[in-house]
Structure 1
Amino acid sequence: MLQITADYLAAGANRHPSAADWDESGLLAFGTDRNLALWRPQKSDSNGISEILKGHEDIVNTVKFLPGSNGVLLSGSVDKNLIIWRKHESTGHYQHIQILHHQEKTNHQSSINCIAVAAGSTIFASGSADSTVKIWSLNEQHEANLQQTITITPRFFPLALALSPLAGATGSYVLAVAGTKDIIQIYVLDAQQGTDFKLQATLAGHEGWIRSLEFARETDTPDSDLLLSSASQDKYLRLWRIHQGKELPAAAASADPSLGAFIPGKALSNKAHRFKAQGLDFSATFEALLLGHEDWIYNTKWRFGNNKLQLLSASADNSLAIWESDAATGVWVTTTRLGEISAEKGSTTATGSTGGFWSGLWSPSGKTVTCLGRTGSWRLWNFDSQKDRWIQGVGISGHTQSVMGIAWSKDGDYLLSTSSDQTTRLHAKWKRDGQGSWHEMARPQIHGYDLNCIDSLGSSQFVSGADEKLLRVFSEPKAVANLLSKLCGIGGSHIEDMPDAANMPVLGLSNKAIEAVADGEEVEVVNGNSKHRDAVDPASIVHKSTLDLDQPPPEEHLSRHTLWPEIEKLYGHGYEISCLAASHDGSLIATACKASSIDHAVIRLFETKGWLEIRPPLTAHSLTVTRLRFSADDKYLLSVGRDRQWAVFERDAIEKSTYKLTESNPKGHTRMILDAAWAPTSARVFATAGRDKKVNIWAKDESSTGFTCRSTISETSPVTAIDFLNTMLGDVAYLAAGSETGFFAIHSLDTKTGFSAKMASFPITLIMLLLTYLSTYPNPSKAITQLAWKPVGAQNEKGKPDMQLAIASEDSSLRVYSYKSGSSVS
């Protein structure tokens, strides 16, 4: 029996201001594609995501923990459903206990954008693109029942909600609603008047959509005023005060309308909005305008600690700001700014690629803040009380679109992944002080086209294919080689011969090699009037100290300083690259492109010494070739395609770069074939996987002239990916198979009886289906795009080695699972 453990879970967060929340227990939950990811940012082991939960059918927009509920979690999605999650007492894993499905006509009928909760309350609110806000009550089992539906008038889509008890009015609540208009609606539930919220005030002042609302008590006294923060796309933060009493708060009573004169075209209103609850008088007034951000503001979070109230804001200007009220003047000022300075950000919401920060969160202790960027990565800062400053820590990252291709380096030291999010990422294990944790260590390629496939060309080169009809070859720079050596113990070859780093020129797609400069060295840079041909772009200047890190690189370093220089382009295909494979000796690259006719369904071979195409191309298929695989000794090249056939090409004994068609089967499966893999057996054996829900095992023995189907494994859904472990363990070959539904299994193939011509069938033992309680959600929620076993060294063949399987999926997740044999391998 195999034992499974999750070594590495990587998934980029969804770009939505409400898509993450941090619980008082230290657990942070965020939406990633249609899943939820759980992470403890303050854990010392830096192990990243601990669990990925599946249950939604579309993008998760909003996530909220219910305060004081021991971790009850609420989530809303584009699939129109609300899900309530709770930790299982015996397993410690989260599971959903209720789905509020859109098929119930009383539930939301459009995308759910926001959820609001209140401390110590059994009600919560949800806002949807159907222009309604629904109020739900929770019973003791944390199951929800609909209490009220608020239809927003005038009609707009709610993007932000805030809910809080009213001070002095037990059982009464105030609800703030805002979104795709420049107003904030205030609804009040008066416990004496019933259980419904009623509109009591409309707060005006913003001049753009409002993306975030958050209530906080001004002090920790029970009768404290409420402060409401609102963040808008007009680049301003506004604070509003909910005050109990007939008299207005001092700030509103003495407000000077001329205070807004310094903002062109703006005047600050001090209008008081009065309402009653349980016979008490309340007022809602404008409190303060906070200026300092240069772009849209997506998110605000309050924190009360050390007898002071602090506000955290996240903006598209790539900065986090911490605001406090000055004790002497009462003016709100920025005390700390984290992120990237304007000179380096090089982007705005309209034109840039960085895209700013979408969400900022406080840790329960207030000693850590995190923020989410456009690239799906989390950055983290810890407050150092001795140095009295914020120190950047180790965040997490992941792809934000389908992971289309993965490849281990030839010796298995690191894992490469490439995605429809137009990035290629390098993942490796950070080893220190007896601990180890997986991280993204480099981002070799940032592209302008969706990336479809990748393969390693050795320890320091790889080739990738994209929708741009050509392939690009990359070579490792010195900065990344030194980083992998220092943090991961991976020894680079020919480090001294490598360029220092690489950068991508403006308006270009090709990474160029650059040399780092010493910290004190002066470099003549290009300016608006420079006519010097040797002057350089300041964006390409990298100092040597910048490349020397003691921990995995943060997001800004990954995207700027870990690119790999491009050394070659390979042309020839007329359509988008569909698949590629590099020979095990690194001398050849086989590629294919998307095709609807026999003219384009060819396989092109390139030799890696001079990077020239070997003509003529190989022909066998009539539709898109979906997978190419070289045998372990590179003697054979296997191809499978959408035309339902497989083909085997044999290497010429003299001309090692030439392959010729030796056999094909036009009816290998009854539907298109999606993947193939060679078995690590002494005899020639390979497997093919198809949309007909079958994995066929094909074998060729000494007495036969061709490959025949020796056995078939039937699965419950179309099989989209397969891979063999690269070595035999005793007489057993291990085959991993992944499906269109995200389910995957490990099969063992017993070869003890050999491959004699009299053999009726090929013995197969299904040793493990990954429906196991060892990990509640081991399977991706969408189709598995590729499986890749980590290469196992020959010295481990007779023992019980740890086997690692990398899994790429359309749900944007990348997973590495370890398997250990619990009993003798046979």
Structure 2
Amino acid sequence: MVKDGIKQEAIFIGANRQSFVVDYNKSENLVAYGAGNTIALWNPLAENHIGVESTLKKHTKEVTGVRFIPNSPYIVSSGEDNEVNVWKKSENSYKLHESLSGHEHSITCLSVINEKIFVTGGADGNIILWVYNSEEQSFKLSHKFQVKFNFFPLTLALQDIDTNGNYILAVGGTTSNLYIYSFTLLQNGTIDHFNQSALLTGHEDWIKCLQFVADIEHKSYILASGSQDRYIRLWRLKLNELIDDSDEDEMKLILLSNKQYKFNIGEHDRGAISFEALLVGHDDWVTGLQWHPSYKTDGVTGEKRLQLLSSSADTALMVWEMDVESGIWVCVNRLGELSIKGASTATGASGGFWSCLWFVDDKTGSQYILSNGKTGSIRVYRSTDSEAKTFESTLGVTGAVKEVTGLTWSLNGEYFTSVSLDQTARLFAPWTANREFKSWHEFARPQIHGYDMICIDNVTNTKFVSGGDEKILRVFEITNSIYKLLKNLCNIDVVPQDQVESLPEAASLPVLGLSNKADNEQQEVGQAAQEQQDADEDKEATPVEKEDILASLTGPPLEDYLQRYTLFPELEKLYGHGYEITCCATSPNGLLIASACRSNSSKHAVIRIFNVGKDFQQSPQVLEGHNLTITSLEFSPDGQYLLAVSRDRQFSLWRVSNEAEGQFELVELNTKASSRILWDCSWLPINQFGSFFLTASRDKTVKLWQVNDTKVESISVAKVDEPVISVSCYRANLIDNFAVISFGLENGNISVYKIDLSTTEKDFQLVAKFDTTITPDERISKLSFSSKLHEKDSQFLLAVASKDTSTRLYSIAKDSVI
């Protein structure tokens, strides 16, 4: 959708670490998943691979459950904000239909079976049945109950068992027992004959996931339950005449594991549930279960067989099937990764997979398995053969799972890199080579850190500096393998050809280390000797070099490649600050790095300068004057000035007096710059009208300032309706004497302004406000224009980082601005 010349080109946002946040709508080929406080919509079968298409905004806290309601235009979502939201398809998008209240705490689980009813469970211990009222076209709270005192539901499974409105509800949670309920849904929408029918024992830990399937061949139902005890149990539910009543007449010993739990359903029906099978194979918590969406047909006998997909915290996806001869359920396929030795939920690791999804593309017959993990990415495995014996990894979606705090464009304006509180730096670039479509993807993960990432800036074409929630800055350099990847798939030349050979080949993160090491550096003698010994023991094995792995790619790297083979080596650590880093900036020629840290006093509210030309040595001069944390730093485009804004409501402007020595002199410390915190600043491009910069404030204003030889003068002010968190100016040049500027507000809104510098007033002129359907859900952390016009000089590109965990890219038509 293009409105007012603005188009959302890409959204990168990770899936929440929850078990019920991913679902698929077969009729629309649409995947919906919980992403931060929003619901992301994505077509995994799209040929153009554009990734997430849009996000739905209403929840105020993390989304914990998302489900499409079958045979209806509705999506139901739940969150930590205690709300259940129902979304309805309207034209080509989903819009909020209604919000349901009933829970008092976070909603932990959600189950949907048909368009008539769904059920939710919460951290308040309550389980609520919501029934659809066709006359009012809304859902109503029909029944609320608690299993028992101090029990919290973690998973639910709802199954309709006949056309008379009879249902079975399975509840698992913070005990090792599985609770079975039966009830009848009457025509008027009320719940009748609601009873606890059975209590199933056997698991040894909390139950995490449940899934029903109709076993058509045996005219019964099978319930699969997965637990933190690492086991999967299958339970068979029989109805009416299929129930074996012979044990009532004979006095014989029945093992507890095979015991039939018999109960009444409604007024006239009966049910019996018993243990069927134990599936053993996972090494950690079982987190998700999904029955095959249709029966698998045996190629020899033509019989229909059930298959079960399971996901686990051991980073494995397993496909289970019953062996015909022995009747034992066995693993017939295993996907995912090999788990790291010693890394499990018992040792505090939160890796592995959180859920699984299985669907079939009716057009091609291909089967798809999806799973979301710790890093926020949704991995996709595709099988094109009819037997689904082999699966191959294919392109999914990636994105941060916590607030994105900073981003910067490459010096050539071709790609950008963001940093996040999820402790990663991610490089995004356009996939253009040998394609009809142009789409943006994550091409590298330069830094995977042990601290939350806060800020980033480029030093040169090949190096960047980043600051995390620690006291030091780190400098990284692009690898030869990533350079080749960007050149081959994105048509981007990062460095001149004569400098390519000097780049490190690849990098890796040592065990228990925080620093990425170049793989072609000289290694310690002991380590080298050990590797030589390993090579001698297995001479036939030919290791595959990491750069060769990336060179063989014909598309963007998948998640396992991003984590292992796209790191940048760390060149330097820059010390000096007493508290955690808040911002950094580099001079246009890459010779100076300026940085600041958190502070509540003037002692630490200083700017430290590092001289790149002198092996990143810190300058003896410390730039003082502020009293509280400096929030943003930026050098002028000509490199003559350094601007700093602070929480103390002041800005300071420094002139570079001796660049070689990193010496500065104070031009002005403005103590009346704003009535509230100054959040950001940005310089206008070099022009014939003078030197100008912008400051953005919590007082809902953006001010334009002009720099003269000895003073700074306020020129004009733009007032908006929300605090301005970030401001960015297109810095390549003026366009017809206009400077193009973008504001990022605290509520997530984005607007574009222009200023005619040839006039005396130099007022802000509003050009466009972004439609709220395409803006982030929460505060804009940082926004930045690319340093060049794209698509034959017809588009501005604006990258946006937000607290809602998303990184977004927008194109703005030049004609709509000027």
TM-score of the alignment, normalized to the shorter chain, above 0.5: yes
Distance (whole Å) between structure 2 residues aligned to residue 525 and residue 347 of structure 1: 27
Please tell me whether residue 593 in structure 1 is matched to residue 601 in structure 2: no
2:301 paired residue number = none
Q: 1:273 to 1:731 in 2, by over 3 A?
A: same
Q: 1:354 to 1:175 in 2, by over 3 A?
A: closer
* Counterpart residue identity of residue 380, structure 2: L
1:746 paired residue number = 752
1:578 pairs with 567, 578, 582, which one? 582
* Counterpart residue identity of residue 574, structure 1: G
1:669 paired residue number = 674
Distance (whole Å) between structure 2 residues aligned to residue 821 and residue 251 of structure 1: 81
Which runs of structure 2 are paired with 1:289-688 in the superposition (5 Å)? 289-303=278-292, 304-306=294-296, 307-342=304-339, 347-351=343-347, 355-365=351-361, 367-385=367-385, 388-431=389-432, 432-493=434-495, 494-515=499-520, 526=530, 542-548=545-551, 549-609=553-613, 610-652=615-657, 657-680=662-685, 681-682=687-688, 683-688=690-695
- Determine if contact 1:2/1:822 at 8 Å carries over to the other structure: no
Please tell me whether residue 765 in structure 1 is matched to residue 765 in structure 2: yes
Secondary structure at the residue paired with 1:160?
A: strand
Distance (whole Å) between structure 1 residues aligned to residue 334 and residue 676 of structure 2: 57
**How far apart are 1:354 and its partner, in Å?**
6.4
Which runs of structure 2 are paired with 1:250-269 in the superposition (5 Å)? 268-269=257-258
Q: 1:2 to 1:429 in 2, by over 3 A?
A: same
Secondary structure at the residue paired with 2:560?
A: helix
- Determine if contact 2:691/2:706 at 8 Å carries over to the other structure: yes
Please tell me whether residue 138 in structure 1 is matched to residue 132 in structure 2: yes
**How far apart are 1:744 and its partner, in Å?**
1.6
**How far apart are 1:41 and its partner, in Å?**
1.2
- The one-character-per-residue Cα deviations of 1:129-162 (angstroms, maximum 9, x if unpaired) are 1111111111336421111111222541111111
**How far apart are 1:351 and its partner, in Å?**
3.1
* Counterpart residue identity of residue 174, structure 1: I
- Determine if contact 1:252/1:270 at 8 Å carries over to the other structure: no
1:190 paired residue number = 184
- Determine if contact 2:166/2:265 at 8 Å carries over to the other structure: no
- Determine if contact 2:258/2:276 at 8 Å carries over to the other structure: no
Q: 1:596 to 1:377 in 2, by over 3 A?
A: same
Secondary structure at the residue paired with 2:485?
A: helix
**How far apart are 1:164 and its partner, in Å?**
1.1
Question: Is 243-252 or 276-285 further displaced after alignment?
Answer: 243-252
Secondary structure at the residue paired with 1:752?
A: coil
2:197 paired residue number = 200
**How far apart are 1:361 and its partner, in Å?**
0.4
* Counterpart residue identity of residue 181, structure 2: Y
- Determine if contact 2:333/2:389 at 8 Å carries over to the other structure: no
Q: 1:561 to 1:228 in 2, by over 3 A?
A: same
**How far apart are 1:250 and its partner, in Å?**
11
- Determine if contact 1:800/1:820 at 8 Å carries over to the other structure: no
Distance (whole Å) between structure 1 residues aligned to residue 487 and residue 186 of structure 2: 68
- Determine if contact 1:346/1:352 at 8 Å carries over to the other structure: no
- The one-character-per-residue Cα deviations of 1:683-740 (angstroms, maximum 9, x if unpaired) are 1111101111111111246xx8422211111111211100001121212111111111
Question: Is 267-276 or 128-137 further displaced after alignment?
Answer: 267-276
Distance (whole Å) between structure 1 residues aligned to residue 172 and residue 659 of structure 2: 73
Question: Is 49-58 or 20-29 further displaced after alignment?
Answer: 20-29
- Determine if contact 2:37/2:60 at 8 Å carries over to the other structure: yes
1:171 paired residue number = 165
How many residues were matched structurally? Answer: 779
Please tell me whether residue 62 in structure 1 is matched to residue 65 in structure 2: yes
- The one-character-per-residue Cα deviations of 1:745-803 (angstroms, maximum 9, x if unpaired) are 111112231xxxxx4x3322111111x3xxx622212211111101116x99xx85210
Distance (whole Å) between structure 2 residues aligned to residue 525 and residue 96 of structure 1: 63
Please tell me whether residue 814 in structure 1 is matched to residue 817 in structure 2: no
Distance (whole Å) between structure 2 residues aligned to residue 305 and residue 39 of structure 1: 26
Distance (whole Å) between structure 1 residues aligned to residue 577 and residue 659 of structure 2: 27
- Determine if contact 1:442/1:558 at 8 Å carries over to the other structure: yes
**How far apart are 1:525 and its partner, in Å?**
7.2
- The one-character-per-residue Cα deviations of 1:160-179 (angstroms, maximum 9, x if unpaired) are 11111114x52111111111
- Determine if contact 1:26/1:364 at 8 Å carries over to the other structure: no
Q: 1:531 to 1:558 in 2, by over 3 A?
A: closer
* Counterpart residue identity of residue 228, structure 1: L
Please tell me whether residue 803 in structure 1 is matched to residue 800 in structure 2: no
* Counterpart residue identity of residue 268, structure 2: G
Distance (whole Å) between structure 2 residues aligned to residue 672 and residue 620 of structure 1: 16
Secondary structure at the residue paired with 2:12?
A: strand
**How far apart are 1:448 and its partner, in Å?**
0.9
2:212 paired residue number = 215
2:119 paired residue number = 125
* Counterpart residue identity of residue 810, structure 1: K
- Determine if contact 2:406/2:782 at 8 Å carries over to the other structure: yes
2:42 paired residue number = 39
Question: Is 451-460 or 483-492 further displaced after alignment?
Answer: 483-492
- Determine if contact 2:22/2:34 at 8 Å carries over to the other structure: yes
2:20 paired residue number = 18
Please tell me whether residue 734 in structure 1 is matched to residue 737 in structure 2: no
2:157 paired residue number = 162
Q: 1:154 to 1:671 in 2, by over 3 A?
A: closer
* Counterpart residue identity of residue 265, structure 2: K
- Determine if contact 1:63/1:73 at 8 Å carries over to the other structure: yes
Question: Is 379-388 or 670-679 further displaced after alignment?
Answer: 379-388
* Counterpart residue identity of residue 434, structure 1: E
**How far apart are 1:573 and its partner, in Å?**
0.6
* Counterpart residue identity of residue 745, structure 1: S
**How far apart are 1:546 and its partner, in Å?**
2.7
Unpaired stretches in structure 1, ≥5 consecutive residues: 102-106, 261-266, 518-522, 754-758
Distance (whole Å) between structure 2 residues aligned to residue 179 and residue 525 of structure 1: 51
2:32 pairs with 4, 22, 29, which one? 29
RMSD over aligned CA atoms reads: 2.9
1:724 pairs with 704, 726, 729, which one? 729
- Determine if contact 1:312/1:360 at 8 Å carries over to the other structure: yes
- The one-character-per-residue Cα deviations of 1:111-138 (angstroms, maximum 9, x if unpaired) are 111111113x411111111111111111
* Counterpart residue identity of residue 780, structure 1: P
Distance (whole Å) between structure 2 residues aligned to residue 544 and residue 573 of structure 1: 36
* Counterpart residue identity of residue 785, structure 1: S
Distance (whole Å) between structure 1 residues aligned to residue 492 and residue 177 of structure 2: 56
Please tell me whether residue 691 in structure 1 is matched to residue 693 in structure 2: no
- Determine if contact 2:208/2:288 at 8 Å carries over to the other structure: yes
Secondary structure at the residue paired with 1:358?
A: coil
**How far apart are 1:543 and its partner, in Å?**
4.8
- Determine if contact 2:63/2:78 at 8 Å carries over to the other structure: yes
Question: Is 55-64 or 612-621 further displaced after alignment?
Answer: 612-621
Secondary structure at the residue paired with 2:391?
A: strand
Unpaired stretches in structure 2, ≥5 consecutive residues: 297-303
**How far apart are 1:308 and its partner, in Å?**
2.9
- The one-character-per-residue Cα deviations of 1:193-244 (angstroms, maximum 9, x if unpaired) are 962332111111111111111111112x7x8311111111000011111111
Secondary structure at the residue paired with 2:71?
A: coil
Secondary structure at the residue paired with 1:482?
A: helix
- Determine if contact 1:235/1:295 at 8 Å carries over to the other structure: yes
* Counterpart residue identity of residue 292, structure 1: G
Q: What TM-score comes out, normalization by structure 1 length?
A: 0.89
- The one-character-per-residue Cα deviations of 1:289-323 (angstroms, maximum 9, x if unpaired) are 11111110000011223433221100011010111
- Determine if contact 2:619/2:661 at 8 Å carries over to the other structure: no
- Determine if contact 2:37/2:57 at 8 Å carries over to the other structure: yes
